[in-house]
């Protein structure tokens, strides 16, 4: 037993709580061993198994194999509806899904069905969207270093907005638009100088950033002047994004005021901007210790603050655009693993290794992200031991969960890790030549494949042997 086992013993007192669902905002939540939460439509069935979207998770693992990404459609639909209702007081607004969080052809089709816009950041993401017949006029194209070919692709596709990140891009885009005889609508990406309280790797609004044009040094206003003078450029407004996994409104409050101050200053020079895109960044729960603001309250806060700021500055109310990614799909995703080797190091720790790892969830290694786990086939068993869950990659740092309190694990158990819907599939890799997992969508007791599991032949499909080596 490790020192952490004492935590497990304390956690047994909350066992009964996990058996009673608590309904909140259309979702069922459980308090699980040691305070671990579960998300979305998760419940426990008569077998003592975890279910998502009415599907037995253990049966999903048997049918589709592991590792497996499970996507809870109802959770996404509910979050989208929450955002729509939260911004309902504004005469003009648009919710634009940040596709970088999780984008497949199927996901693009769902976003279209939900009536949301789509934010893409590469030619590949744009291609994925268009393969789903996503309306190009509802697409925003982001990126700090778009290639000329990507800009040409965006113009040919007729995307609704291109978010311009630099003076260089502004000039290139103007020349391309002129050569094609089109007028392109743009937003200028600005850096307002707000540092959100989050991991330094996912802060983007501070002055020292690779993104955008700084307000503080005058670059942003100069870009407005330059854009207004280009005949093939139609400047619609300004954009910012201050970071990700933000739990409170303090940074957003400061950002609204700074951006509206900028728009007022631009208006004084005769440059009237009609759209304000505040990006995304609202955090989600990865563990029970996380306490993000709920979507409805967040949206209503932004709407109210924007109305107040516009009135205080004597400005017309701009159209508000927001770009939720993680907060739309993060808690809708759960990753399933099969437990393999269990290795006890007396007095140190017990490792439980699974058949995935940093290849399907690199966020732990990149950002020190913290998750919790559920044993899907033992949901009603008492916590018995503290484990560190390790992946199968040849890296000492390939760990998924640290010192988690779980029922006694055995080889073959199914481990479920909630809140893995954002940036897990998107950032997955083939390190160690591991095939990427399948993605399955669950809804109302049914399951369907969104992405097929890669096979070994997929790993070498594009490989070539130079002739001189044959």
Active site residues: 394
392, 367 in Cβ contact below 8 A? Answer: no
Q: How far is Cα 11 from Cα 32, in angstroms, rounded to an integer?
A: 9
Length of the chain: 470
107, 129 in Cβ contact below 8 A? Answer: no
206, 191 in Cβ contact below 8 A? Answer: yes
CA angle, residues 278, 284, 287, in degrees to nearest 5: 155
Dihedral in degrees, nearest 10, Cα atoms 387, 391, 392, 395: -110
241, 281 in Cβ contact below 8 A? Answer: yes
Angle between helix 250-268 and helix 219-228 axes, rounded to 10 deg: 50
For 84-97, b/e burial (b = at least 16 CB within 10 A) is eebbeebeebbbbb
Looking from the CA of 120 toward its CB, the CA atoms found within 13 Å total: 32
Looking from the CA of 219 toward its CB, the CA atoms found within 13 Å total: 19
Tell which residue, 140, 29, 25, has the closest CA to residue 80.
Answer: 25
CA angle, residues 292, 297, 301, in degrees to nearest 5: 110
Q: Which residues pair with 388 in a beta bridge?
A: 351
40, 332 in Cβ contact below 8 A? Answer: yes
CA angle, residues 361, 414, 409, in degrees to nearest 5: 105
């Amino acid at each position: 037993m490790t020192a952490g086992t004492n935590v497990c013993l304390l956690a047994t007192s909350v066992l009964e709580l996990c058996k009673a669902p608590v309904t909140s905002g259309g979702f069922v939540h459980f308090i699980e061993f040691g305070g671990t939460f579960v998300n979305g439509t998760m419940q426990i069935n008569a077998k003592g198994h975890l279910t998502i979207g009415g599907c037995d998770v253990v049966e999903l693992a048997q049918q589709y194999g592991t590792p497996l990404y499970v996507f809870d459609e109802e959770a996404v639909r509910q979050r989208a509806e929450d955002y729509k209702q939260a911004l309902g007081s504004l005469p003009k607004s648009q919710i634009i899904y940040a596709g970088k969080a999780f984008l497949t052809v199927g996901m693009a089709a769902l976003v279209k069905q939900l009536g949301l816009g789509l934010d893409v950041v590469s030619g590949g993401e744009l291609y994925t969207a268009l393969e789903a017949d996503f309306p190009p006029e509802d697409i925003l194209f982001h990126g700090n270093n778009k290639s000329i070919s990507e800009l040409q692709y965006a113009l040919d596709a007729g995307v609704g907005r291109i978010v311009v990140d630099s003076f260089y891009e502004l000039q290139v885009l103007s020349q391309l638009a002129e050569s094609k005889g089109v007028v392109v609508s743009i937003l200028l990406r600005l850096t307002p100088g707000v540092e959100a309280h989050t991991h330094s790797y996912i802060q983007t609004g501070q002055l020292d950033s690779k993104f955008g044009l700084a307000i503080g040094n005058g670059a942003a206003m100069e870009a407005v002047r330059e854009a207004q003078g280009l005949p093939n450029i139609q400047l619609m407004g300004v954009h910012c994004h201050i970071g990700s996994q933000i739990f409170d409104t303090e940074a957003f409050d400061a950002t609204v005021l700074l951006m509206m101050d900028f728009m007022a200053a631009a208006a004084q020079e005769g440059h009237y901007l009609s759209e304000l895109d505040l990006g995304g960044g609202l955090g989600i729960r990865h563990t029970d210790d996380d306490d993000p603001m709920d979507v409805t309250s967040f949206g209503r806060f932004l709407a109210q603050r924007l109305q107040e700021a516009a009135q205080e500055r004597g400005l017309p109310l701009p159209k508000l655009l927001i770009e939720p990614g993680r907060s739309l799909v993060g808690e809708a995703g759960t990753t399933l693993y099969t437990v393999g080797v269990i290795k006890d190091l007396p007095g140190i720790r017990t490792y439980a290794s699974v058949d995935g790892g940093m290849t399907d969830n690199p966020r732990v290694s990149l950002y020190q992200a913290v998750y919790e786990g559920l044993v899907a086939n033992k949901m009603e068993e008492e916590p018995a031991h503290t484990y560190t869950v390790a992946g199968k990659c040849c890296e000492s740092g390939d760990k998924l969960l640290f010192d988690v309190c779980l029922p006694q694990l055995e080889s073959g158990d199914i481990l479920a890790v909630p809140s893995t819907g954002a940036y897990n599939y998107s950032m997955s890799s083939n390190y160690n030549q591991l095939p990427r997992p399948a993605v399955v969508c669950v809804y109302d007791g049914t399951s369907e494949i969104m992405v097929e599991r890669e096979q070994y032949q997929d790993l070498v499909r594009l490989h070539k042997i130079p002739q001189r080596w044959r």
